[in-house]
Chains A and B, each alone.
Chain A
Amino acid sequence: MTTEESDGTLPSTIAAICRRHSGREGPLLAILHDVQDTFGHIPDEAVRHVAYTLNLTRAEVHGVVRFYTDFHAEPARAHRLKVCRAEACQAVGGRAVWAAAQALSAVPDGRVEIEPVYCLGNCPCGPSAQWDGRTLGRMTPERVHELVAAANGGMPS
């Protein structure tokens, strides 16, 4: 993964991403997705270069990054577990799955980002979660524990 300490690389990477989207109308979200896919998050430095390239203010780009839940300004942990908190999952025990996940997010130095999500469209197979982009159905608090413990290297939760 490219990181921002490789001096000169970030601006040229950003320029290449912006070029890829040139000719498109309103490309900012698409560009930010690519930036995040490349760097794992959207560093401040990237915000500056995207703003410069698109002739926007830094405030405008920053405001967009901060508005969208799935844009991350900070580096993330190795894995991401999204747990559905919405009604259809609540009706089949989703509150307990979320509570288990939330309790685990407090583990210091854990390797899993734990986030709520409001519907994964997996409702008929709920409670639902998404592990690094893979949707999981019929979740239980126990399965959340297993997944997170395995990722944390068997660390007691």
Chain B
Amino acid sequence: MSVYLPRDSAAVSIGADEVAAAITAADPALSPLRTGARGLYALEPLVEVDHGDRRIGFGPVTAAAVPGLVEALRHPDTGHPLRIGDVDTLLADQGQNRFTCRRLGRVVPDDWDDFVAHGGTRGLRRALDMERQSIVDAVTASGLRGRGGAGFPTGRKWQTVLDADGPGKVIVCNADEGDSGTFADRMLMEGDPLALIEGMAIAGIAVGAVHGYIYLRCEYPAARASLLTALDIARHNGLLGADVLGAGHTFDIELRMGAGVYICGEETSLLESLEGHRGEVRFKPPLPAIRGFMGRPTVVNNVVTLATVPAILADGAEAYATLGHGKSRGTLTVQLCGNVRRPGLYEVPFGVSLADVIDELGGGTASGRAVRAVQAGGPLGAYLPASALDVPLDYEALAERGGMIGHGGIVVFDDTVDMAEQARFAMEFCAIESCGKCTPCRIGSVRAQEVIDRIVDGEARESNTALLRELCETMIQGSLCAHGGMAPHPVLSALNHFPDDFNRQAVGS
């Protein structure tokens, strides 16, 4: 019988280590194995115990509750107020389809045998039996799109790199997960880092690259530690190295750390940073797939994207492509947070409605007040009003509403939110994190804050509002990358859907 408890940094941030220590102190035989998190953060710290082939969960557990829990852990079929039953059944009942996150929270991240026993290396072994072109074809057929935010078809990107001439092709994993409201990359890197490594190895073999980089943000020290250990384990077991799984291919990965700059999540800025420069964005074209790291053909993919690839190869492209909605195939790792009762990671097929995610999975607001606004797709995503949430989660459907899927982050605000403040913050954030290369973003974001202040102060409201809209248009049309080009979206959506918030003086007087 084994007891499990996440070492996931968010679970640890609310007391998982203290719970682990309390369990070990109560009965060393129950000392928990540390796993990734399931994503059910309202139940964290979530203790699980084997019971037959099921895992019975108890949560949220505090260190103080442990003495009263020990008997229940020994006899998990007996009742306990914190008992939530079989965790996998709970996930299935929520409509989750754990395709990418199949091992997350189930395996011990540092345990190679556990990884293999739960399907690890199956995808890579399949890939090693295939021609390069067939691997790329499988990824294309799966319909997988870049989960970092842009939603570009992954297979097409790989095809470009496969077709590109030149030695020294590179696989770069963008692990600079900077968007507020997103944490799926972090969870995977902490909880199933070998999946990412396996995905990068498949990418390398598919396009003919022998070297990979993971560019990780330095706000994630636990992910760094987890990846460094996993890279060692991968080399030790032949997943990386001069002869990957004995099939004659060479592939290895170097972990590189960012240094606290949001814009380095933009792929060309990331490449500049990886090369040792200031993370200023590059002009496109040329695409990184043609001229990326050090001018060489480069695949730049997000963590979730790359970690999905082994499962696609293992189960077949069809298994993934049958899930989903419209042109959005497969599953989305929804990261639900902000003012919700049950925040967390929910991996669901594309097409579920945003309202259902918030109400059914999230349980509505944590405050019990009405939902007023939802920001989907990160800090550059539009704010959707409560009336616009009946929309399927699908890249195109959300775009039609002016929103975006982005990296799958959904941040819920209740009716206490001041949308003029949120609009101003969007521009403040844009200014702070602007790389400074192009004028619309560098200057526009500063001027926009001043104009918003004037509007809120009631100074020439009409003409200043017109000016703000014009400025937003200039930024959208004239910025070099999505940072300046999309920061106006939360501002314009706030202005369009919540005009009264910009008009408080007049309303109040």
Contact = CB atoms under 8 A, between A and B. Distances in A.
Contact of B13 (A30, A69, A70, A122): A122
A75 interface: no
A133 B178 CA distance: 17
Given A67-B278, A68-B259, A91-B412, A124 B343 contact: yes
A74 interface: no
A124 B334 CA distance: 12
Given A87-B425, A137-B13, A119 B179 contact: yes
B279 A67 contact: yes
B276 A26 contact: yes
Contacts of B370: none
B9 A122 contact: yes
Contacts of B260: 68-70, 117
B173 to A, nearest CB: 16
Contacts of A128: 13
A84 B13 CA distance: 14
B236 to A, nearest CB: 22
Interface residues of A, number: 42
Contact of A121 (B182, B274, B336): B182
A22 interface: no
Interface in B375-406: 375, 379
A70 B259 contact: yes
B195 interface: no
Contacts of B345: 124
B183 A122 contact: yes
A24 B179 CA distance: 29
A130 B220 CA distance: 10
B429 A86 contact: yes
Contact of A86 (B11, B39, B180, B277): B180
Contacts of B470: none
B337 to A, nearest CB: 4
A88 B337 contact: yes
Interface in B267-321: 273-279, 293-294
A66 B161 CA distance: 34
A115 to B, nearest CB: 9
Interface string A75-96: 0000000101011111110000
Contacts of B409: 88, 123
Interface string B338-371: 1100011100000000000000000000100000
B278 A87 contact: no
B422 interface: yes
A150 interface: no
A90 B259 CA distance: 23
Contacts of B182: 119, 121, 123
Nearest to A70: B260
Given A135-B10, A137-B13, A87 B261 contact: no
A89 B180 contact: yes
Interface in B1-43: 9-14, 39, 41
A126 interface: yes
A124 B337 contact: yes
A121 B259 contact: no
A114 B422 CA distance: 23
Interface in A111-141: 117-126, 128, 130, 133, 135-138
Contacts of A25: 275, 293-294
Contacts of B13: 122, 125, 128, 135-138
A107 interface: no
A8 interface: no
A117 B414 CA distance: 23
A71 interface: yes
B219 A117 contact: yes
Contact of B261 (A67, A82, A92, A120): A67
B147 to A, nearest CB: 15
Contacts of B261: 67-70
A133 B13 CA distance: 11
B254 interface: yes
B181 A123 contact: yes
B256 interface: yes
B369 to A, nearest CB: 12
Given A64-B276, A119-B180, A125-B10, A130 B379 contact: no
A85 to B, nearest CB: 8
Contacts of A130: 219
Given A91-B338, A117-B219, A122 B10 contact: yes
B34 to A, nearest CB: 16
25 contacts: A25-B275, A25-B294, A29-B256, A29-B258, A64-B278, A70-B259, A86-B180, A86-B379, A86-B429, A87-B181, A87-B411, A87-B422, A88-B337, A92-B366, A119-B182, A119-B219, A120-B219, A121-B185, A121-B186, A123-B411, A124-B335, A124-B344, A125-B11, A125-B13, A125-B14
Interface of A: 24-30, 32-33, 63-64, 67-71, 82, 84, 86-92, 117-126, 128, 130, 133, 135-138
3 pairs of A and B residues whose beta carbons are closest in the complex: A28-B276, A86-B180, A137-B13
Given A123-B337, A125-B44, A135-B13, 14 more contacts: A28-B277, A29-B257, A64-B277, A70-B261, A86-B181, A87-B411, A90-B425, A91-B413, A117-B219, A119-B177, A119-B182, A122-B10, A123-B335, A125-B41
